[in-house]
Amino acid sequence: MKAADPATIETPVGYVELDRARANATRVAAYARSHGLRWRPHVKTHKSLEVARIQLEAGAQGLTVATLREAEVMASLCDDVMLAYPPVGWTKLERLLSLPESVDIKVALDGVEVLTSLASAAVERGRTVGVLVELDVGLGRVGVQTADDVVRLAELAAGTEGVAFRGVLFYPGHIRMPRGEQTGHMRAVATRLHAALGALTAAGLHPEIVSGGSTPTLWNSHLVEGLTEIRSGSCIYFDREALHVGVADWADVAYTVLASVVSTAVPGRAVVDAGSKALAKESRGGDGFGILLDHPEVLVRSLSEEHGVLDLGATEWRPKIGERVRIVPNHVCASVNLQDGLLARDGDVHRLITLEARGRGPWIA
């Protein structure tokens, strides 16, 4: 990796504390082991081979991806890859089935059309792809709706050449309240999952994998009986939402956006060079779009493409032109995806990290 001088690097840029990232990975892996769970982190947060290696060395067992580009990159590092997104279209199926044969490929899906097209493509390639049936547990985004729906799709996967039924997947993305208020919601998820698992057992189908979890619900994952693995991804860095929910402390935050103050002309405000193209315009974590690491009372009140407006109404701090600040974004995954690369502090050394899995990969006309 290329060494870098933080004093001369151009802002805005994503900034990572690697020692904190390693500590986060170690803690999550230890939690999973203590409850008999596997950790299959979602790499959409970091899109980096170096950071994925940190997770695997800490004890992660397998990786989760959302795009074919992520799958292609991570398959060079790990032979246990789950695509938690239905591959629709022949180009995506071609790319998926072109992964090395040594890679154990698993796909989450919720429809017959995706399953049958995946099976046909796999047969043509002489491969068998694992299938996890996705169950909606309350988010209302994707996932079959009933236990009977789970059984029907699982039976089809079990009886179709080219695919094999491997288990059930869910995502409790609707649970974003503070950690101490999650118990009842997690039990509701467990009840819905229990019904699906019971129906599968009654049908003679035994899921090897029951995959769930999110970073907001991370430390309550053990409340879901029957779960075998968690896919929490943003816990490698954490963000403002994690602070708000209470799953992370300030000392756990490993990712910020390094920005420079470019204007103080408007009273009570300052403008930095990190706008929506560096922070992402997501409203998670309360008002605004981020807070300052060293001045948490300062809110990034508004964003335009290249401007971030800091609200100085609650602080006596008055920044100077050219002063550098570190912003904790509302949602780390979206911010990382906007970076060309990251500036990383590793002990006393600064260097650049490549985001090999960023983007969609080859453009096919």
pLDDT for the residue 283: 86
Average pLDDT over residues 175-183: 96
pLDDT tens digits for range 196-213: 999 999 999 999 999 999
Average pLDDT over residues 113-118: 98
Dig out the tokens for 220 from the structure: 């309550």
pLDDT for the residue 173: 96
Residue 193 has pLDDT above 60, yes or no: yes
Buried b (16+ CB within 10 A) or exposed e, 20-35: bbbebbeebbebbeee
Distance CA 261, CA 244 (A): 26
Describe the crossing of helices 112-125 and 90-97 by its angle, rounded to 10 degrees.
Answer: 50
Residue 139 has pLDDT above 80, yes or no: yes
How many Cβ atoms sit within 10 Å of the Cβ of residue 205? 19
Instruction: Report CA-CA distances (Å) from 9 to 13, 90, 184.
Output: 8, 42, 47
Q: In what order do the strands lie in the sheet with 163-169?
A: 38-39, 229-230, 209-212, 163-169, 129-134, 104-109, 80-83, 63-65
For the chain, what percent of residues have pLDDT higher than 70? 99
301: helix, strand or coil: strand
DSSP string, 53-105: HHHHHHT--SEEESSHHHHHHHTTT-SEEEE-S---SHHHHHHHHTS-TTSEE
Report the DSSP beta bridge partners of residue 325. 259
Instruction: Please report which confidence band the pLDDT of residue 97 belongs to, taking 50, 70 and 90 as the band edges.
Output: very high
Q: Which of 254, 274, 249 has the alpha carbon at shortest distance from 262?
A: 274
Instruction: Please report which confidence band the pLDDT of residue 1 belongs to, taking 50, 70 and 90 as the band edges.
Output: low
Q: In which residue are the tokens 């990796």 written?
A: 1
pLDDT tens digits for range 292-346: 999 999 999 999 999 999 999 999 999 999 999 999 999 999 999 999 999 999 9
At residue 171, φ and ψ (nearest 5 deg) are: -140, 110
Residue 364 has pLDDT above 60, yes or no: no
Amino acid (one-letter) located at 296: P
Average pLDDT over residues 238-255: 97
214: helix, strand or coil: coil
At residue 133, φ and ψ (nearest 5 deg) are: -80, 125
pLDDT for the residue 284: 74
Residue 163 has pLDDT above 90, yes or no: yes
Residue 365 has pLDDT above 50, yes or no: no
Residue 19 has pLDDT above 90, yes or no: yes
Domains of the chain: 18-239 (3.20.20.10), 250-354 (2.40.37.20)
Average pLDDT over residues 270-299: 94
pLDDT for the residue 93: 97
Dig out the tokens for 160 from the structure: 């179709």
For the chain, what percent of residues have pLDDT higher than 90? 95
Instruction: Please report which confidence band the pLDDT of residue 31 belongs to, taking 50, 70 and 90 as the band edges.
Output: very high
Mean pLDDT of the chain: 96
Residue 158 has pLDDT above 80, yes or no: yes
DSSP string, 164-207: EEEEEE---TT--S-GGG-HHHHHHHHHHHHHHHHHHHHTT---
Dig out the tokens for 122 from the structure: 């796999």
Dig out the tokens for 124 from the structure: 């043509």
Task: Look up the pTM and report it.
Answer: 0.95
Residue 73 has pLDDT above 90, yes or no: yes
pLDDT for the residue 3: 80
Residue 149 has pLDDT above 50, yes or no: yes
pLDDT for the residue 55: 98
